[in-house]
Amino acid sequence: MTLPIPDVAQPSRRALLQTGGGFALAFFLGVGSARATISARPQPGDAELAAREGATFAPNALIRIDREGPVRLVMPNVEMGQGVYTTEAMLLAEELDVGLDQVIVQHAPPIDALYGTPLLKSQTTGGSTTVRANWMILREAGAVARAMLISAAAEQWGVPAAECVTKAGVVKHAASGRSATYNELAEAAARQQTPEKVGLKDPKDFKLVGKPMRRIDSPSKVDGSAIFGIDIRVPDMQVAYVITCPTAGGTLKSVKEDEARKQPGVKDVIRLPHGVAVTAPNYWAAKKAAEALEIEWDHGPNVDFSTEGLFKALDEASRTGKALVARSDGPLDRKGKTIEAVYQHPILAHAPMEPLNAVVHVRPDACEIWVGSQVPTRAVGAAAKLTGLPEDKIILHNQYLGGGFGRRLEVDSVELAVNIAKQVPYPVKMIWSREHDIRHDIPRTAYLDRVSAVVDDEGYPVVWKDRTCGASVPKRWAPQMLRKDGFDADLTECSDELSYDIPAFHVEWVPHDMPEAIPIGWWRGVGPTHNIFKVEGFVDELAHAAGKDPVEFRRKMLTKNPRPLSVLNKAAEAIGWGEKLPPRVGRGVAFASPFGSHVCAIAEVEVSPRGVIRIRRGVAAIDCGPVMNPNTVEAQIQGGLIFGWTMALFNEITFEKGAVKQSNFHDYRMMRLNETPPIEVHIVKNEGPIGGMGEVGTAIAAPALANAVFAATGVRLRRLPLDPRLLADP
Amino acid sequence: MRNLVRIAVAIVVLAAIGIAGLAGYRWLHNDRDVMAADAPASPELVRRGEYLAHAADCVACHQVPGGKPYAGGTPFKLPFGVIYSTNITPDKETGIGTWSDDDFVRALHHGVRKDGRHLYPAFPYTSYTRMSRDDAVAIKAYLFSLEPVHAPAKKNELSFPFNQRWAMAFWNMAFLDARRFRDDPDRKPEQNRGDYVANALGHCGECHTPRNLAFALDDGKEFAGADIQGWRAYNITSDKTFGVGAWTDQQLSDYFAKGHAEGRAAASGPMAEAVEYSTRHLNEGDRNALISYLRIVKAQPGPAGTEIAPDPESLKKSTAWAPPADAAKGDLGRKIFEGACASCHQYDGKGQQTPYAGLAGLRSVNDPDGVNLTMALLQGSDLKDINSGAWMPSFAAYSDVELAAVANYVIGHFSGKQGQVTPEKVAERRKQQ
Amino acid sequence: MLTLNVNGEDRSVEVPEDMPLLWVLRDVIGLTGTKFGCGIAQCGACTVHVDGQAVRSCVLPVGELGDAKITTVEAIGATPEGKKIQDAWLAVEVVQCGYCQTGQVMSAAALLRHNPQPTDEDIDAAMSGNICRCGTYVRIRQAIHQAATGKPV
């Protein structure tokens, strides 16, 4: 079939990473396979895609073996730092029996049916789902390819397949002394039947999985050759600088462009519903010209929106609003001493290091997009809608992401770039300034949580009640995720299922929407990041009220739950819990089971007499079931903790008169190297179900820190970010 | 320059001189200088007016950030209310479009509006009164050449009795010496010209001259330095230790032209605005005249301890990329400097990407109270129009404790002195913003 | 027309003098290893070497460079300290999303050039201006020590 490949020069690229290229999306989706996801075996459309990519042997959508050169592995998920290209490549290569030095990886094109993650039913990288959902499929995909290579060899040599073995990309037959490389066998393998069943390796024979492997993407990221979305250059491209109304939902009233037009290099001034874009051959010229525009805004309906007002409204709603119940069970009417607390969580920006960007070329017959996206198929859908082109005319090239953290689960930047590119004949590279990136984020929303417990004579909770109040992300992002009555499980993730032994539970959510012009989004650690801060802070409060050691207190409530208990014990042992510490130094523990993993973090802090928090040490223990790459597990926990501590120490987006006050790293601070303590990560081995990794560290960070601050100062901070002014030694 | 405290004069004076009559008011109407027909606005006159308007730094007060030049609206926040600068574009309804030359000259020389009502001395007519009628008329011709902007004046928010404009007549009687500038025959011509540029046009003393108990400029201490809007307007007398006496002509010239004198100063805050709007537009002759005049301004001492430390040890031991080993180890201020500051300022005081960021030898880092240092941290600094790299963001998001710590580290590292900045002092300056 | 010496080669570029070096490298010359992160010298993603010293190219007007020698990440591997740093970065597996890492490598290479045996304090002084959102700091510190000593830390 003819595929709509436009006559556009491809950006030059290093051999390591080849672009997936464009293809006919509708062809794959048109056969009713929209709910299909990745598979070890060929799916409708697979062969055409492989042919277009020039693959000799393509046993499935994930593996390409050519007559020469390395094995090409197509990555169904996108790499944003979590190490997924290496992990997915390890799983494929393990069962295929090739070394990681024999493969290259390439970005998958956007096709839910071939590259969708089963847990999310779409080609989405997020929610710490990738390995959890895909690991067995990827192993099987490697095994299928290996089996076909073996049968090709056996057929050529006239020997039983069972007598052939594989090693490092070579099939061997010991008795005849014959051997052939996968490259040599590719053509013959392509003619083999796909096996119905394949055997998988015994984990004890793993050569890659479970070993600390070097990341596949590191070399190019260390020498500058890796291409991120922002690095794409296509012929005749112009760079677009965007100015959007500072007030959320405000619109463009008028713009005078005379001065801007006088700036050197300026190409076009493009009006948009909520702003203006200026294009020029480079970012600087576009920026200079855009800054010379005289713009008048209609600030719209949100001029009175403020963070202060939002928290007042949340407080009111959480007292009087109608709640949707997540869970209510056990003897809730038990009487006894009751302890209550209110926890508050700020609005947060994602601030990935790579500011949002997209390269878009809209032509009469097609639209080509280069972007780093966690949701490439969603981006295709959005572009189709805006251009009026069918989805099979939208060609998207996914790229490395310079940080995702949930920000690139949104396609607003792609939409904006398409809206600009629609108005000009040339390809447009839209780059957001850092200020734009922070002010026009789709932020994590604010929450206000009321939590209470009735405790027994020893101080252990016998009734646990938790009412969270805030807005729902899926309500906009994926309404199908909601329960029929509108209940959003994200709001109570990690607060409605605790590992602790508590007999009665009531957890509910009071919805309170943000203004429509301020859409809210997923932020690393999603529901758990919000909920664990409160749950583990409150557990600490209960321990303190009971006069018990916080680790002992938790141990007692985990006695029936060995997997969590061993994680808690490991972390406590590693840090030397119980040691005597100097004045204003304290340790805080937090435990939870987010994303199918079990994690315990302990932070040690010192709080200066004037309230300055310094983290001295961090220890974490993690049980994520089978470990793919211990290197990555450690890195994700270390980095995740730093991400979470950054939030806890510094991060809050505040709205005043409907506009975000913060703008760049001087007022939206990031933890820096000299603020980072040594962080030890201990992996607790377990055969249990596999857990996610990418968000676990972030979700557990803040409560460990806040609990440590309490231990050091006796001051319980229930609002993030932690306010050092409350910690000064009186 | 904007002078937020200046109007406070009114309070003192109203209390002190409640007895004066209307004599002064009548007197000014008899000023012979304010009686002539309107001059025809030739292109040359407009050009000269534009130059003089820059020299007199009108736009500093008559434009709000992001607003139209000369359309006014700048708030002057005072202890007893807020007053706003007005629209001086030739809009007939909301600007000065209906004003005659006489009206304009009278405003500059006597602080009286076309309608006869008194201006508040936030408008520096006490300085402009020295300006020649010709120059004033030229400025007016320039303003009238601009596109009229319809921008109604914001209503001042003053409480009684400060909202009584007529009362300014009494203040003027005591403190307005409504005389034009006259050359001093004992001086060189360029010194006289420099005096005129500094005092009749540039009104430097409005910020740099201390005020007496009645909040009027203390003429005996011309340019000895004063605090204003939370910033310190430095001693710019010829004193070699505390003033600019030791600066070379080149350094002074660079400062006026570019806001930066290597090893001496980088303009920040209100002075950065003065450079941007005013001094950098001076022609070479006037720039040199200004320098000549500063050379003869009577030397005034400064507070002990604010002298520039010569070659501090800590700086000598630093390289561009690292401070001396173990100095201030673990210090909070040093940590903040490492993360947020060193990328531009670097450790040897020279400035990384641009010499504008060099901190060695600056008065701001040699002042143990860190007045301007604290203000620069809180407000940032902006000379972007002059040099795209000469810009610093505001670090107001950092806590008072952190800002005090980094200020003291910077003072310690770049001058070897013990900084005296406390979180409480940072908090006070934060309020003055 | 300005002539810049980039990675040992003279490059003529037709750009205004106030254009930051970052955009000349990325958008005019086409060296995209140097990254845009903040534009205000607060994150270090744009770090390059000018005459051997680490500078933030996002705020460095290109007109001020004269005939200074500019080295970008694309060529730092050809210097002894750059090579050591890159090798250690891979050995310690520092990288996550990787976007800031070219800037980190440049800052670290400059540090090592001036100070072959940096202490933790020296590393703090030289590396705290580089932000990593993924939080790779623990390994950055480790990798610099490893590059300096040649031994796993």
Q: What is the pLDDT of residues B225-270, one digit of tens each?
A: 999 889 999 999 999 999 999 999 999 999 999 999 999 999 999 9
B182: in domain? no
Reported as half-sphere exposure (CB side, CA atoms, 13 A), residue A200 has a value of 17
pLDDT digits (tens, 9 = 90+) for A300-331: 999 999 999 999 999 999 999 999 999 999 99
Closest residue on chain C to A399 (Cα): C97
pLDDT at A31 over 80: no
Contact A670 C133 (CB under 8 A): yes
Q: How far is B423 from chain A (nearest CA, A)?
A: 9
- Place A9 in a pLDDT band, splitting at 50, 70 and 90: very low
- Place A24 in a pLDDT band, splitting at 50, 70 and 90: very low
pLDDT at res. A26: 28
Question: Residue B50: what are its φ and ψ, rounded to 5°?
Answer: -65, -45
User: Mean pLDDT across the stretch A349-353?
Assistant: 98
pLDDT at res. B15: 45
Dihedral sign for Cα atoms in the order C22, C27, C29, C34? positive
Q: Does C147 touch chain A (CB under 8 A)?
A: no
pLDDT at B167 over 80: no
pLDDT digits (tens, 9 = 90+) for A449-459: 999 999 999 99
pLDDT at res. B387: 81
pLDDT at B219 over 90: no
User: Mean pLDDT across the stretch B261-284?
Assistant: 95
Q: Does A256 touch chain B (CB under 8 A)?
A: no
Q: How far is C52 from chain A (nearest CA, A)?
A: 17
Q: How far is B265 from chain C (nearest CA, A)?
A: 20
B307: in domain? no
Sheet with strand A178-181: strands edge to edge: A164-167, A170-173, A178-181
pLDDT digits (tens, 9 = 90+) for B15-40: 444 434 444 444 444 454 556 677 77
pLDDT at res. B171: 76
Closest residue on chain C to A355 (Cα): C37
Contact C138 A676 (CB under 8 A): yes
Q: Is B62 annotated as a binding residue?
A: yes
Q: Which chains touch C (3 or more CB pairs under 8 A)?
A: A, B
Q: What string of H, E and C letters represents the secondary structure of A288-346?
A: HHHHCCEEEEECHHHCCCCHHHHHHHHHHHHHHCCCEEEEEECCCCCCCEEEEEEEEEC
Element (H, E) at A25: helix A25-29
Chain C CB contacts of B393 under 8 Å are 40, 42
pLDDT at res. A546: 98
Q: How far is residue A389's CA from residue B388's CA, in Å, rounded to a whole number?
A: 43
Of A612, A667, A674, the CB nearest to B401: A612
User: Mean pLDDT across the stretch C90-113?
Assistant: 98
8 Å CB contact between B132 and B33? no
B181: in domain? no
Contact A353 C27 (CB under 8 A): no
Residue B198: which residues within 8 A CB-CB, separation 6 or more?
B204, B205, B290, B293, B294
Last residue of a domain, one of B130, B153, B175: B175
> For the domain that residue B321 is a member of, what is the CATH number?
1.10.760.10
Closest residue on chain A to B397 (Cα): A667
pLDDT at res. A19: 33
Degrees to nearest 5, angle at CA A285 with B269 and C67:
80
Chain C CB contacts of A264 under 8 Å are 16
Q: Does C38 touch chain B (CB under 8 A)?
A: no
Per-residue DSSP letter, A525: T
A672: tokens are 């820096």
- Place A276 in a pLDDT band, splitting at 50, 70 and 90: very high
Least confident piece of the model among A546-550, A698-702, B349-353, C81-85: B349-353
What percent of chain C has a predicted confidence (pLDDT) above 90?
97
Per-residue DSSP letter, A400: B
Q: How far from B207 is each of A24, B6, B129, B236, CA to CA, in Å?
A: 70, 9, 17, 11
Q: How far is residue B184's CA from residue C10's CA, in Å, rounded to a whole number?
A: 58
Q: How far is residue A233's CA from residue A397's CA, in Å, rounded to a whole number?
A: 13
pLDDT digits (tens, 9 = 90+) for A633-685: 999 999 999 999 999 999 999 999 999 999 999 999 999 999 999 999 999 99
Q: Which chains touch A (3 or more CB pairs under 8 A)?
A: B, C
Contact B338 A675 (CB under 8 A): no
Let me know whether B193 and B171 are in one domain. Answer: no
Let me know whether B202 and B136 are in one domain. Answer: no
More confident residue, A32 or A267: A267
| Residue A653 β-bridge partners | A347
ipTM associated with this complex: 0.93
Q: Is B208 annotated as a binding residue?
A: yes
Q: How far is residue A536's CA from residue A534's CA, in Å, rounded to a whole number?
A: 6
Let me know whether B112 and B211 are in one domain. Answer: no
Dihedral sign for Cα atoms in the order B332, B338, B339, B340? positive
pLDDT at res. C38: 98
Contact A283 C73 (CB under 8 A): no
Let me know whether B208 and B163 are in one domain. Answer: no
pLDDT at res. A637: 98
Let me know whether B103 and B226 are in one domain. Answer: no
pLDDT at res. A359: 98
Average pLDDT over all residues of chain B = 88
B126: in domain? yes
Closest residue on chain B to A665 (Cα): B340
What percent of chain A has a predicted confidence (pLDDT) above 90?
91
pLDDT at A3 over 60: no
pLDDT at A1 over 60: no
More confident residue, A481 or B388: A481
As a whole number of Å, the end-to-end CA separation of chain B is 16
Let me know whether B12 and B151 are in one domain. Answer: yes
Q: Does C153 touch chain B (CB under 8 A)?
A: no
Q: How far is residue B243's CA from residue B373's CA, in Å, rounded to a whole number?
A: 18
Contact A725 B393 (CB under 8 A): no
Of A610, A667, A675, the CB nearest to B335: A675
pLDDT at A415 over 90: yes
User: Mean pLDDT across the stretch A528-541?
Assistant: 98
Q: Is B110 annotated as a binding residue?
A: no
CB pairs under 8 A between A and C: 186
Interface test with chain C among B353, B394, B406, B413, by most C beta carbons within 10 Å: B353
pLDDT at A486 over 90: yes
Q: Is B345 annotated as a binding residue?
A: yes
Dihedral sign for Cα atoms in the order A30, A31, A36, A37? negative
B300: in domain? no
User: Mean pLDDT across the stretch B332-342?
Assistant: 97
Contact B335 A610 (CB under 8 A): no
pLDDT digits (tens, 9 = 90+) for A202-218: 999 999 999 999 999 99
Chain C CB contacts of A641 under 8 Å are 135
- Place A253 in a pLDDT band, splitting at 50, 70 and 90: very high
Q: How far is residue C45's CA from residue A560's CA, in Å, rounded to a whole number?
A: 49
8 Å CB contact between B74 and B156? no
Amino acid code (one letter) for A315: D
Let me know whether B279 and B378 are in one domain. Answer: no
User: Mean pLDDT across the stretch A40-51?
Assistant: 91
Q: Range of B6's domain?
A: 2-175
Let me know whether B197 and B69 are in one domain. Answer: no
pLDDT at B209 over 50: yes
Q: Does C79 touch chain A (CB under 8 A)?
A: no
pLDDT digits (tens, 9 = 90+) for C26-70: 999 999 999 999 999 999 999 999 999 999 999 999 999 999 999
8 Å CB contact between A281 and A264? no
Count other C-beta atoms under 10 Å from residue B150's C-beta: 13
Q: How many domains does chain B have?
A: 3
Q: Is B61 annotated as a binding residue?
A: yes
pLDDT at res. B25: 44
Residue B129: which residues within 8 A CB-CB, separation 6 or more?
B108, B109, B110, B176, B177, B178, B179, B180
Dihedral sign for Cα atoms in the order A560, A564, A568, A573? positive
Q: How far is B54 from chain A (nearest CA, A)?
A: 21
Q: Which chains touch B (3 or more CB pairs under 8 A)?
A: A, C
Last residue of a domain, one of B294, B324, B351: B294
Q: Is B29 annotated as a binding residue?
A: no
Q: Does B60 touch chain A (CB under 8 A)?
A: no
Closest residue on chain C to B380 (Cα): C40
Q: How far is B391 from chain C (nearest CA, A)?
A: 8
pLDDT at A14 over 50: no
More confident residue, A167 or B79: A167
Strand, coil or helix: A643 = helix
Let me know whether B166 and B74 are in one domain. Answer: yes
CB pairs under 8 A between A and B: 36
Q: A501's torsion region: left (phi>0), alpha (psi -120 to 50) or beta?
A: beta
Let me know whether B16 and B137 are in one domain. Answer: yes
Q: Does A258 touch chain B (CB under 8 A)?
A: no
Average pLDDT over all residues of chain A = 93
Q: Does A296 touch chain B (CB under 8 A)?
A: no
Q: What string of H, E and C letters represents the secondary structure of A682-718?
A: EECCCCCCCCCCCCHHHHHHHHHHHHHHHHHHCCCCC
Let me know whether B11 and B142 are in one domain. Answer: yes
Let me know whether B204 and B347 are in one domain. Answer: no
What percent of chain B has a predicted confidence (pLDDT) above 90?
69
B299: in domain? no
Q: Is B54 annotated as a binding residue?
A: no
| Residue C53 β-bridge partners | C50
pLDDT at res. B6: 53
Contact A666 B394 (CB under 8 A): yes
pLDDT at B1 over 80: no
Q: How far from B409 is each of A279, A464, A626, A724, B321, CA to CA, in Å?
A: 44, 49, 49, 20, 16
DSSP secondary structure string, A68-136?
SSPEEEEESS--SSS-HHHHHHHHHHHHHT--GGGEEEEEPPS-HHHH-BTTTTBS---TT-HHHHHHH
pLDDT at res. C114: 95
pLDDT digits (tens, 9 = 90+) for A110-143: 999 999 998 888 999 998 899 899 999 999 999 9
Contact A646 C135 (CB under 8 A): yes
Amino acid code (one letter) for A323: A
B195: in domain? yes
| Residue B406 β-bridge partners | none
| Residue B63 β-bridge partners | B72
pLDDT at A341 over 60: yes
B36: in domain? yes
- Its pTM stands at 0.93
Contact C137 A354 (CB under 8 A): no
pLDDT at res. A4: 32
Element (H, E) at A604: strand A598-607
Q: What string of H, E and C letters represents the secondary structure of chain B?
A: CCCCCCCHHHHHHHHHCCCCCCHHHHHHHCCHHHCCCCCCCCHHHHHHHHHHHHHCCCCCCCECCCCCCCCECCEEEECCEEEECCCCCCCCCCCCCCCCHHHHHHHHHHCECCCCCECCCCCCHHHHCCCCHHHHHHHHHHHHHCCCCCCCCCCCEECCCCCCHHHHHHHHHHHCCCCCCCCCCCCCHHHHHHHHHHHHHCCCHHHHCCECCCCCECHHHCCCCEEECCEEECCCCCCCCCCCCCCCHHHHHHHHHHCEECCCEECCHHHHHHHHHCHHHCCHHHHHHHHHHHHHCCCCCCCCCCCCCCCCHHHHCCCCCCCCCCCCCCCHHHHHHHHHHHHHHCCCCCCCCCHHHCCCCCHHHHCCCCHHHHHHHHHCEECCCCCCCCEECCCCCCCHHHHHHHHHHHHHHHHCCCCCCCHHHHHHHHHHC
Of A223, A225, A631, the CB nearest to C93: A631
Contact C124 B335 (CB under 8 A): yes
Last residue of a domain, one of B240, B267, B294: B294
Q: How far is A111 from chain C (nearest CA, A)?
A: 23
